[in-house]
């Protein structure tokens, strides 16, 4: 897959893989996996893990990457999520071929492993309540105490465990625990629970089971069963690596993968936690998991980001072990870079201001040539209609132009893109003094946009012929949170909700688009010249009532100048 020429050096994980390949540690194989829990939608943080795992497999001869659902908690998992996850991974551009796995497919084998562990005296059934278990576990600084059930005989453990499986006990009555060390300074090694009773219907196995294996037990064995060579996960699992290895060392397993941890992605001005994203969805702060403001892959897809841009972004941010927060500007850059090369240009006026070209014949219409993509000659040209009444952008006219404002003002000549040089002659205002229409004259000698006498204008503006315009709704998105780190709060009792940006969505109606957009279809990406990249909404847009989402605005030098001017007086 996408090799990064930007970073010729290997990240620490690829270095390990290369070393293992050189030493033949895993018999020359490279097998990775992406192991999501189907309890939420995938987000950009998952994209980092997906790109990493699939890319490492692809970079190595014969390498494979599995998609495995870690579905061991029926209470939180749903088929809606397993479907969306597959759709998102595919959309991102990766193919797990026939290697779609579910931890739940291993339940029988996992159960047998658990019996094996019990038979070997490495696991026991503990009948402490959850609260008692916590008390016995000790604290970070004090060792735990052995459970009074720790020394049950193998026979009793086996009998109890089988009866747990048979459904003889209620939730919480017993658990199966690994017998390790209650005094370990690493609390995860203090006889961790590996099976619990949960009389719940599982989205795949239904009611076949009432006991479910815990993460550490399931994950290590699933990796082993699948012959994974490097098991990549995020930093918070680092302290569990001894347990991962312990499980594999105490059982007769097919292989012993190496767990390697890397830093999860954090992105500025958003949250990447399924739990937090779920609350935004459930509380109606956003329209759903695929709200274009969400950092989910489905949200980004709907907003118009491309999988290529996301992959490029993931390549560029690299992989390391230190906690970091990547600037969202980095993502936006990758998106603009990709969209710049591929998006057809089109003219659309977001906030229309009526213009009448007074010396242009009443009923005349000229169809002018417009370039579809200056970055791609093969994209060709199209015709746009020009007529006496037009719309331009409100912000492109100023009655009292500030310094460095090059656009239209009374008495100034500018170019209407692909059309003519026009000069503003007067303005019409309403009772409140707002400019509601401007009057211009055009120079018929400048058709196409160039003056025969060679005179220059400082500005070129986009426009749309009023009588030909197609109406549309345009949704402008801004950052979801107004703090770089939404989890940072100054006020006692506040949380990330209090950092939500109330202006993250602005809906514009009555926008005027050039008539070629009537042919647009949901999902179509375009650049509205001088405004940004937009994507026709895949849910709400219909022929006749178009809806476009702004993916990302164009870099706006003027906005920057103006802002700087205001700051410095």
Binding residues for RNA restricted to 467-526, rule: CB under 7 A: none
Which among 45-53, 79-87, 134-142, 475-483 is the span making contact with RNA, rule CB under 7 A?
134-142
User: Annotated catalytic residue: which of 14, 76, 198, 264?
Assistant: 264
Provide, rounded to whole angstroms, the least separation between the CB of residue 528 and RNA. Answer: 8
Please, what's the largest Cα pairwise distance for the chain?
A: 102
Q: How far is the CB of 462 from RNA (least distance, A)?
A: 7
Count of residues near RNA by CB under 7 A: 96
Assess whether 383 carries a catalytic annotation. no
Query: Of 91-99, 284-292, 332-340, 358-366, which part binds RNA (CB under 7 A)?
Result: 332-340
- Residues 124 and 121: their CA atoms lie apart, in Å, by 7
Nearer to RNA, 93 or 449 (CB): 449
- Least Å distance, CB 544 to RNA, is 27
Q: Which stretch binds RNA (CB under 7 A): 2-10, 159-167, 299-307, 353-361?
A: 2-10
Q: How far is the CB of 240 from RNA (least distance, A)?
A: 6
Q: Which is nearer to RNA, 114 or 291 (CB)?
A: 114
- 187 exposure class (CB count in 10 Å sphere: 0-12, 13-18, 19+): middle
Binding mask 15-54 for RNA (x = CB under 7 A): x-------------------x-x-----------------
Between helices 44-59 and 79-92, what is the axis angle to 10°?
60
Question: Active site includes 274?
Answer: yes
Which of 68, 137, 196, 274 is the catalytic position? 274
Q: Are strands 389-393 and 464-465 parallel, antiparallel or unpaired?
A: antiparallel
Instruction: Give, as ranges, the residues between 343 and 382 that touch RNA (CB under 7 A).
Output: 345, 373-375
Instruction: Compute the least distance from the CB of residue 531 to RNA, in Å.
Output: 7
Of 55, 357, 461, 476, the one binding RNA by CB under 7 A: 461
Q: Is 449 helix (H, G, I), strand (E, B) or coil?
A: coil
Contact 157, 204 (CB under 8 A): no
| Nearby residues of 330 by Cβ (< 8 Å), 6 or more positions away | 313, 316, 317
CB of 175 to RNA, least distance (A): 5
Which residues fall within 8 angstroms of residue 222, CB to CB, at 6 or more apart?
Answer: 35, 68, 70, 101, 103, 106
- Candidates 356, 425, 422, 420; CA nearest to 384 is 420
Among 70-78, 145-153, 158-166, 514-522, the segment contacting RNA (CB under 7 A): 70-78
75/435 Cα distance (integer angstroms): 59
Which tokens go with 341? 């090369």
Going by their DSSP bridges, the two strands 352-357 and 532-536 should be labelled as unpaired
Smallest gap, in angstroms, from Cβ of residue 471 to RNA?
22
**Interface map 236-275 toward RNA (x if CB under 7 A):** xxxxx----------------------x------------
* Closest CB to RNA among residues 446, 549: 446
Out of 33, 37, 261, 308, pick the active-site residue: 37
Cα separation, 258 vs 69, whole angstroms: 19
Binding site per annotation, positions for ATP = 37-39, 43-49, 234, 264-265, 272-274
Task: State the SS3 of 74-122.
Answer: CCCCCHHHHHHHHHHHHHHCCCCCCCEEEHHHHHHHHHHHHHHHHHCCC
Three-state secondary-structure class, residue 253: coil
CB of 94 to RNA, least distance (A): 19
Q: Which residues contact 256 (CB under 8 A, 6 or more apart)?
A: 224, 245, 248, 249
Mark the segment that binds RNA (CB under 7 A) among 151-159, 295-303, 336-344, 544-552: 336-344
Cα Rg for the chain, rounded, in angstroms?
Answer: 31
Do residues 298 and 356 lie in contact, with contact meaning Cβ atoms separated by under 8 Å? no
Residue range at the interface with RNA (CB under 7 A); choices 8-16, 153-161, 379-387, 464-472: 8-16
What SS3 class is residue 513?
strand
Which of 7, 153, 467, 509: binder of RNA (CB under 7 A)?
Answer: 7
Specify binding-site residues for L-glutamine. 70, 215
Phi, psi (degrees; rounded to nearest 5) at 402: -70, 170
Which of 16, 7, 9 shows the shortest CA–CA distance to 231? 16
Among 123, 175, 247, 438, binds RNA (CB under 7 A): 175
The only residue of 82, 128, 300, 474 in contact with RNA, by rule CB under 7 A: 128
Q: 136 to 165, contacts with RNA by CB under 7 A?
A: 137-141
Joined together, the tokens standing for residue 204 give 């795949």
CB atoms within 10 A of CB 422: 27
- Candidates 155-163, 331-339, 434-442, 496-504 — which segment interacts with RNA by CB under 7 A? 331-339
539's tokens = 């849910």
Residues in region 307-326 near RNA by CB under 7 A? 316-326
* Interaction between residue 450 and RNA (CB under 7 A): yes
Rounded to whole angstroms, how far apart are CA atoms 181 and 191?
6
Whose Cβ is closer to RNA: residue 7's or residue 153's? 7
Site string for RNA, 80-119 (x = CB under 7 A): ----------------------------------------
561 token code pair? 């100048």
Q: Which CB, 108 or 545, lies closer to RNA?
A: 108
Q: Which sign, positive or negative, has the C-alpha torsion 60, 217, 142, 140?
A: positive
* Residue 12 vs 367, nearer CB to RNA: 12
Residues 21, 86, 279, 330: which binds RNA (CB under 7 A)?
Answer: 330
| Residue indicated by tokens 């909404």 | 537
Catalytic amino acids? Answer: 37, 264, 274
């Amino acid at each position: 897959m996408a090799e990064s020429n930007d970073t010729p050096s290997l990240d620490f994980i690829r270095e390990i893989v290369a070393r293992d390949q050189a030493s033949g540690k895993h018999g020359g194989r490279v097998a990775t996996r992406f192991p999501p829990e189907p309890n939420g939608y995938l987000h950009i943080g998952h994209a980092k893990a997906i790109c990493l795992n699939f890319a490492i497999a692809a970079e190595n001869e014969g390498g494979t990457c599995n998609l495995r659902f870690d579905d061991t908690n029926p209470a939180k998992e749903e088929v809606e999520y397993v479907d969306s996850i597959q759709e998102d991974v595919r959309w991102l551009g990766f193919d797990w071929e026939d290697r779609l796995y579910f931890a739940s497919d291993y339940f029988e084998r996992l159960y047998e492993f658990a019996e094996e562990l019990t038979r070997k005296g490495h696991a026991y059934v503990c009948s402490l309540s959850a609260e008692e278990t916590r008390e016995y576990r000790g604290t970070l600084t004090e060792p735990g105490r052995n459970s009074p059930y720790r020394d049950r005989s193998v026979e009793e453990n086996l009998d109890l465990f089988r009866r747990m499986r048979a459904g003889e006990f209620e939730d919480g009555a017993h658990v199966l625990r690994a017998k390790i060390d209650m005094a370990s300074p690493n609390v995860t090694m203090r006889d961790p629970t590996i099976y619990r009773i949960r009389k719940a219907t599982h989205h795949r196995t239904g009611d076949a089971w009432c006991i479910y294996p815990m993460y550490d037990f399931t994950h290590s064995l699933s990796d082993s069963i699948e012959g994974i060579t490097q098991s990549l996960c995020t930093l918070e699992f680092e302290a569990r690596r001894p347990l991962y290895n312990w499980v594999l060392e105490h059982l007769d397993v097919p292989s012993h993968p190496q767990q390697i941890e890397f830093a999860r992605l954090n992105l500025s001005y958003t949250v990447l936690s399924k739990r937090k994203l779920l609350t935004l969805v459930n509380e109606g702060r956003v329209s759903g998991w695929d709200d274009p403001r969400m950092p989910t892959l489905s949200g980004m897809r709907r907003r118009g980001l491309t999988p290529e841009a996301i992959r490029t972004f993931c390549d560029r941010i690299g992989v390391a072990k230190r906690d970091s927060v990547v600037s969202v500007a980095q993502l936006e850059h990758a998106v603009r870079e990709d969209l710049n090369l591929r998006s057809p240009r089109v003219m659309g006026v977001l906030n229309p201001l009526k213009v009448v070209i007074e010396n242009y014949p009443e009923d005349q219409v000229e169809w002018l040539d417009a370039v579809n993509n200056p970055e791609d000659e093969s994209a060709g040209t199209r015709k746009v209609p020009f007529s006496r009444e037009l719309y331009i952008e409100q912000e492109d006219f100023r009655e009292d132009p500030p310094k460095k404002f090059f656009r239209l003002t009374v008495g100034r000549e500018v170019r209407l893109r692909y059309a003519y040089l026009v000069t503003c002659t007067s303005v019409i205002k309403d009772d409140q003094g707002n400019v509601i229409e401007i009057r211009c004259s055009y120079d018929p000698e400048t058709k196409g946009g160039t003056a025969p006498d060679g005179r220059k204008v400082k500005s070129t503006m986009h426009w749309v012929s009023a009588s030909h315009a197609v109406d549309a709704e345009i949704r402008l998105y801004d950052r979801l949170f107004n703090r770089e780190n939404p989890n940072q709060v100054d006020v006692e009792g506040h949380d990330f909700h209090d950092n939500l940006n109330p202006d993250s969505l602005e809906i514009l109606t009555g926008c005027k688009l050039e008539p070629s957009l009537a042919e647009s279809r949901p999902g179509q990406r375009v650049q509205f010249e001088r405004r940004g990249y937009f994507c026709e909404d895949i849910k709400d847009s219909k022929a006749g009532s178009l809806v476009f989402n702004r993916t990302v605005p164009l870099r706006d030098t003027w906005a920057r100048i103006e802002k700087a001017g205001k700051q410095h007086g």
